[in-house]
Every structure is written in structure tokens, then in C-alpha cells.
Amino acid sequence: MRIGIISDVHGNLEALISSLLFLKDRTDFLVVLGDVVGYGPDPEECIGIIKTKANLILKGNHEEGIITGNYTAFKDVARISLLWTEKTLSSDSLATIKKFKETEEMENILFVHASISKPLFKYILSEKDAEEEFGLLNKKVCFIGHTHLPATYIKHEEDRTEIVPPDFSGRMAIEIKEECRYIINVGSTGQPRDGLPFACVSVYDTEKDIFTLYRIEYPAEITRKKIIEKGLPSILSRRIIQGI
């Protein structure tokens, strides 16, 4: 099976459409790892597309914020955009995000937004962070998002943990080996923060045991203008263009 994986779309309709077009003939199953909303100018449209196209949709911390109405854990920019998003979403979309799962398993794969220990909130950014999670991982591979920074964490047979970053183009190609376990951060489709303003789009071929992270160009200038026109924090328009 060829599993397409995207995460952290964050209301970026242009990035989502471009990513789905790229995945259309390359995948058999689509997984979305949460944070469909927040930050971006088109949350309603993104939810509408994803609920019809995705086979599995997980909840992220931004959906959780809207569902609970508790924004204390969010920084000002995120909180302001979530309050705007909450007012923008239809009752149907609010009902839809309440149905998103926190975790899901598929054969020897675990899907989660942030981490195994705290599915919605913990950031995995270092070997130490990954070590703590590997102790809880009973599958071969765990796919995550949340940080907006793609990376692969590998637990080797000799109990050594290794971080494999993307190459200079922001891409990754990882061979999934039998003797290792993996926590793979697929980055952000709608708001990458690794200095590259290209959507992160992934495919895991379970038959070939190959994971590939692609970077997709999309009309980011359209998204930038929408952010400004809809009165969202101006820093969000800069993030889209600069990938920060």
C-alpha cells in the first residue's frame, strides 16, 4: 500500500490543493495528522476537502483548542488566529473536527499528531525527546507532525538513537529496515518552518518499505494576500513566504 501522509495544513487551501494533486496518482490511502485549522485563511474550505478526500484524519492541538475553547497553551498569534477560526467555521465543520481521532494504528504503524506520550501537545525536537517516546512505541513506525520541522528519528538494534534530517532541498528518503524502529516527523503542509516555503508531502510505500518526503511548490502569494485581507496577524503572511 502507498500511504500519503500530510500534517499541519493550517487553513492553507492553496498548499492543500497542490499537495493533493501531487498525491493523487501516487497513493492508495490518505492520512492527515491533525491541525487542519489554525493560522491560515481558509479553515472551512480545508475541512471540507479533507473530510471527503482523506481516509484517516487525526486531531491536532489546534482542533483541540477550538473544541474545548481553552487557548491558554497557545501563544498570541496562534490564539488570535484560533479565535478568528472559531467564529469562521460552520456548525457542520465544528461537528466534523469533534469526530477526529487522537491516534490510530494500522498494522505495524502508529499515527499521531504530536507524540505517543501526549498525542496533542508534546514537541519531539531532540534525541532525548525521541528516546522517551521509543520507550512507548510498540509499532515499527510512528508518524507525527506538530513541530512543522521534518525529521526522522531511528532507534537502532544496538539501542542507539539517530536523527536523520532532510537533505538541503528539504526532502527525505528513508529505507525502513527490519531491525530498527522509527519516529518520522512529516513536517507541515501549510506552514513549514524549516526555511523552505514549500509544502511537505509524504508517501510511505509499505511493500517497498520506503518513506519519501517531497516538497511541493504552491501559489503561496495567494495565501499571503488572503491572510492580510482577512485581518489575521501579519507575521503569518511572512511565515508563508519565508518558511519560518
Query: C-alpha 122: how far from its chain's center?
Result: 14
Predicted local distance difference test score (pLDDT) of residue 189: 98
Predicted local distance difference test score (pLDDT) of residue 170: 96
pLDDT at residue 173 tops 90: yes
Domain CATH number, residue 165? 3.60.21.10
| Contact in structure between 182 and 142 (CB atoms under 8 Å) | yes
With a CB cutoff of 8 Å and minimum separation 6, the contacts of 16 are 6, 9, 46, 49, 50, 189, 190
CA distance 244 to 161: 27
User: Is 6 in a helix, a strand, or coil?
Assistant: strand
The burial of 59, by beta-carbon neighbours within 10 Å (0-12 exposed, 13-18 middle, 19 or more buried), is given as: buried
Closest CA relative to residue 209, chosen from 167, 166, 178, 168: 178
Closest CA relative to residue 59, chosen from 120, 122, 123, 135: 120
Listing DSSP states for 124-141 in one string gives --SHHHHHHHHTT--SSE
Mean pLDDT calculated for residue range 208-227: 97
208 DSSP assignment: T
pLDDT at residue 158 tops 90: no
Predicted local distance difference test score (pLDDT) of residue 159: 86
pLDDT at residue 71 tops 90: yes
The amino acid that residue 88 corresponds to is T
The domain tally of the chain equals 1
Task: Give the range of the structural domain holding residue 61, as residue numbers without chain letter.
Answer: 2-242
Q: Give residue-wise pLDDT tens across range 179-192.
A: 999 999 999 999 99
Predicted local distance difference test score (pLDDT) of residue 186: 98
Q: Give residue-wise pLDDT tens across range 83-117.
A: 999 999 999 999 999 999 999 999 999 999 999 99
CA distance 21 to 106: 24
| Contact in structure between 203 and 215 (CB atoms under 8 Å) | no
Predicted local distance difference test score (pLDDT) of residue 161: 93
With a CB cutoff of 8 Å and minimum separation 6, the contacts of 52 are none
